[in-house]
A and B are shown apart, each in its own frame.
Chain A
C-alpha cells in the first residue's frame, strides 16, 4: 500500500468521528452541517469502494459515482431502523456510520470486478464459460 492510499484510508476511517465531533459546533453552523453532509453523502460509500491498487481509470469514476448512492443507502437504512425502534439519536446515528466507515476503510475494499480486468477477459473456470459465441440474445 503506498502512502497516498494509506492517507486516504486514514481520512476515511476518521471521517465519521470528525462528523460526530462537528455536532459539538453551534446548531446550524456552516462547518457543522457541511462536515456532516459530506460524511453522510460520501463517507461510507468511499470507505467501502475505495480504489484498489492496479485498477483501471474507470474504476475511480465508478467509485466516485457509486459512493453517494451507497452512502445514502446505508444512512437511510440506519436512520429508518433507529426511528422504527424509537431509538434515534444523532449520536447513535453518526456513531453507527462512523464505526462502519472505520472498519470498511481498514479492510481491503470491495472489489469491482469489471474494473480489475481487461475487457474481453473471461474468468477461468467459471461455470458455463467458454462457449464464447453468438452474443445476444
Chain B
C-alpha cells in the first residue's frame, strides 16, 4: 500500500499541510467526487428500476427499455469509481464499494424485476434439480434423450442446489435462480483482488483490473449453472496456486525492485514442498468439486496449471498430476458415457480451428438487435485484446513479473483446435483467459506514475483521458452484449404456464417438438418425454424443413408415438437471435404447421401454440379381385 501511495496520480503523498487538510475535508473537490457519485448513482438507479419496461421486449432486448436515468446511474458510478482510484491505496473500501455497486447496478435489475426465471438454460437447470429432488439420486449410466444424461454424470452443482432447497424448505431453485449473477460476481471479486494483488502493489491497477473484468465478462455464463459455479472454484484454485505454490530459489530477480516495473509486486514468498503438499490437500476438495460439477472447467484448470508449469516459479508438476488424475478418475467413472462419446467425435473436430471457433451452431443471427450484439461482441474482444497487447509490449517488466497471468490468459486458446463444445468453445476460451487479459488491459489504462519528467506527464494524461474512455467503451459494449438479446431470456409467467400446461397434456413417453430448446420450461419433467428441437441443425437441413414443415416433421415422428409441437414467442426470438432460420422463416414455419394435415391445433394464444400430431391412417390394402368385399 505504501508503494502505491507513492505513485498516486496528481502528486506525491508529502504535500503541504494545507493541501493535506483540504484533502481530508469531506466537501473538498477530491473527496466530494469520491463519495457523492455513490448516492447520486444509487438514487438514479433506484428511480429508474420500476421504469424498466421489460414486459414487452423488442429487437434490442433491454437496451431500449432501460430509461435514460439507468444509463446515467452507470455513468455516475463509473465517475465515482475513477475518482476513488486516487486514494485506492489508503481507502480501498471506496473502489470496493463502487465495484460492488456496479455489479449490483448491472446484474440485479433482472433479479429484482423478473417474475419468471431468466434465461432458458437456467430454467433447464431448475428442471434438473427438480428431477434430482424427485428421484433422490442420479443415474449416470442411463441414457436420456437430448444429452440430458450428462447432468447425471456431473451432478455436483445440482446436488448442492438440491440440498439447499431441501434445507431452505422452498419449492425449487426458481426463488433464487435470478440472483446467481450477483452472488457469483460478489464471491469472485475478492478472489480477483487476491490474484491481482499477487502481481502488483498498485491498488489502482488492482481495482481497475477488477472493474474491467466485470465489464468484459459479458459472455453470460454467470447464471445458475454448473459452469458459473465451477468458474468461482477455478479462480480460487488459481489464486491459491499463485500465492502459495512458488518454488524455492525460482523468483530471483523477480524480487529485485530495481528490475521490476514500478507497479509490480515482488514474487510471493517461496514455499517448501511440505507446505505445497498441504496446499494440494487444501485444493483437492476444490478440484474434486469442480470435477463433480462440470465437464469443461477441469480441462481448463489442467491447461492453466500446465501453462503455469512452463515458468520456474510455478513448476508444480505434482499439483498438475493431481488435477489430471482427479479429472481422469471422474471422467472414467461417473462421466464415462459422455467422455467416451466425446473421444469418438473428437477426431472429426480436431484441428478444425475455424469451425470450432465459430460461435453458436446456427447460421448468422438475423434482426437488427442480434446483428448489433454480434458486432459489439467482436469489438469487445478486439478492444480488450488490443489493450492487453499494448500493456504487454509497453510494460515488458510488468509482463515479465506477471508472466503467469499472461500464460493463463492464453492457455485455453489451444482448445479451439480440439473441440467446438456445441458452438460455445470460443466463449469459454475467452472467459477463462479473462482474468489475465483484464489485468493487462488495466495495465494499459493505469500506467505507473513513478516516473519522472516527460514519462510522468504522459502517464498522467493516459490516466486522465484513456482510463475513463476505455472504461466507458467497455461499459457501452457490455450492455448490448449482456442485455441485447433479452427477448430470448425473459418469458412472461403466462408463457411459462402455457408450456407447463402443454407438457401436462402430453402423455408420458410422448415426443415433444419445438423449434428450439431455448425457451423456459423446455425441459419440464424432461425424463418423461423425448424431445426434438427441430431447427437446431445445419442450414441445409433447415432449408429442407422450410419446404414443407408439416411433412418434414411428420416423417421424423416414430410410428405410434404421440407427438406434440410447442411454439412460443421466446422460441421465435431465439430462432432469430441464434440464426437458425432465415428472416421470415419462423413465421412461415408456424403458418405451414397450422395448415398442415398432420397436426391439429390444441391451444393457440399470444403466449404459445400447441399442436398435436394426427397419425394419418394408412389406406387399407386393396382386397384381391376374387374376394367379395
Contact B168 A79 (CB under 8 A): no
- Interface-forming stretch among B120-128, B241-249, B413-421, B436-444? B241-249
* Binary interface encoding of chain B residues 225-253 relative to chain A, with 1 for a CB under 8 A from any of its CBs, else 0: 00001001101100110011011111111
Task: List B141-183 residues whose CB lies under 8 Å from chain A.
Answer: 155-157, 159-160, 162-164, 166-170, 175
Q: Is A94 an interface residue (CB 8 A)?
A: yes
In whole angstroms, what is the CA distance A72 to B138 when docked?
20
Known A-B contacts A61-B190, A76-B157; the reply to A114 vs B244 at CB < 8 A is: yes
* Binary interface encoding of chain B residues 266-293 relative to chain A, with 1 for a CB under 8 A from any of its CBs, else 0: 1111111101001100100110111011
| Cβ 8 A contact of A27, one of B169, B236, B265, B270 | B169
Contact A65 B190 (CB under 8 A): yes
Contact A62 B243 (CB under 8 A): yes
How many residues does chain B have at the interface if contact means C-beta atoms less than 8 Å apart? 69
User: Which A residues are in CB contact (< 8 Å) with B310?
Assistant: 137
In whole angstroms, what is the CA distance A91 to B614 when docked?
50
Contact B270 A135 (CB under 8 A): no
Contact A120 B254 (CB under 8 A): no
User: Which A residues are in CB contact (< 8 Å) with B166?
Assistant: 88-90, 93
In whole angstroms, what is the CA distance A29 to B190 when docked?
29
Contact A58 B197 (CB under 8 A): yes
User: Which A residues are in CB contact (< 8 Å) with B290?
Assistant: 73
Known A-B contacts A26-B169, A126-B273; the reply to A69 vs B267 at CB < 8 A is: no
CB distance from B362 to the nearest CB of A (A): 34
* Binary interface encoding of chain B residues 187-220 relative to chain A, with 1 for a CB under 8 A from any of its CBs, else 0: 1001101100100000000000000000000000
In whole angstroms, what is the CA distance A70 to B166 when docked?
21
User: Which B residues are in CB contact (< 8 Å) with A69?
Assistant: 187, 191, 232-233, 235-236, 286
Nearest A residue to B246, CB-CB: A114
| Cβ 8 A contact of A65, one of B191, B249, B288 | B191
How many residues does chain A have at the interface if contact means C-beta atoms less than 8 Å apart? 66
User: Which A residues are in CB contact (< 8 Å) with B494?
Assistant: none
Q: Is A113 an interface residue (CB 8 A)?
A: yes
Contact B286 A84 (CB under 8 A): no
Contact B272 A66 (CB under 8 A): no
Contact A119 B266 (CB under 8 A): yes
Task: List B409-452 residues whose CB lies under 8 Å from chain A.
Answer: none
| Cβ 8 A contact of A68, one of B170, B232, B251 | B232
CB distance from A133 to the nearest CB of B (A): 5
User: Which A residues are in CB contact (< 8 Å) with B254?
Assistant: 135-136
User: Which A residues are in CB contact (< 8 Å) with B191?
Assistant: 65-66, 69
Q: Is B600 an interface residue (CB 8 A)?
A: no
Nearest B residue to A22, CB-CB: B167
In whole angstroms, what is the CA distance A7 to B265 when docked?
35
Nearest A residue to B400, CB-CB: A136
| Cβ 8 A contact of B163, one of A79, A118, A120 | A79
Contact A128 B162 (CB under 8 A): no
CB distance from A57 to the nearest CB of B (A): 9
In whole angstroms, what is the CA distance A79 to B138 when docked?
12
Q: Is A123 an interface residue (CB 8 A)?
A: yes
User: Which B residues are in CB contact (< 8 Å) with A23?
Assistant: 167, 169
Q: Is B132 an interface residue (CB 8 A)?
A: yes
| Cβ 8 A contact of A136, one of B156, B265, B312 | B312
In whole angstroms, what is the CA distance A39 to B309 when docked?
36
User: Which A residues are in CB contact (< 8 Å) with B197?
Assistant: 58, 61
Contact A129 B170 (CB under 8 A): no
Contact B249 A28 (CB under 8 A): no
Contact B293 A113 (CB under 8 A): no
CB distance from A79 to the nearest CB of B (A): 4
User: Which B residues are in CB contact (< 8 Å) with A66?
Assistant: 191, 194, 236, 239-240
Q: Is A2 an interface residue (CB 8 A)?
A: no
Contact A68 B187 (CB under 8 A): yes
5 A-B pairs with the lowest CB-CB distances in the bound complex, closest first: A27-B169, A69-B236, A129-B248, A73-B289, A65-B190
Q: List 19 A-B contacts (CB under 8 A).
A: A23-B167, A33-B170, A36-B167, A65-B194, A69-B232, A72-B229, A72-B232, A72-B289, A73-B285, A79-B159, A80-B292, A83-B137, A83-B162, A113-B271, A122-B248, A122-B249, A123-B272, A126-B270, A136-B403
Q: A122-B249, A123-B275 are in contact. List 5 more A-B contacts (CB 8 A).
A: A65-B193, A73-B286, A73-B288, A83-B136, A88-B166
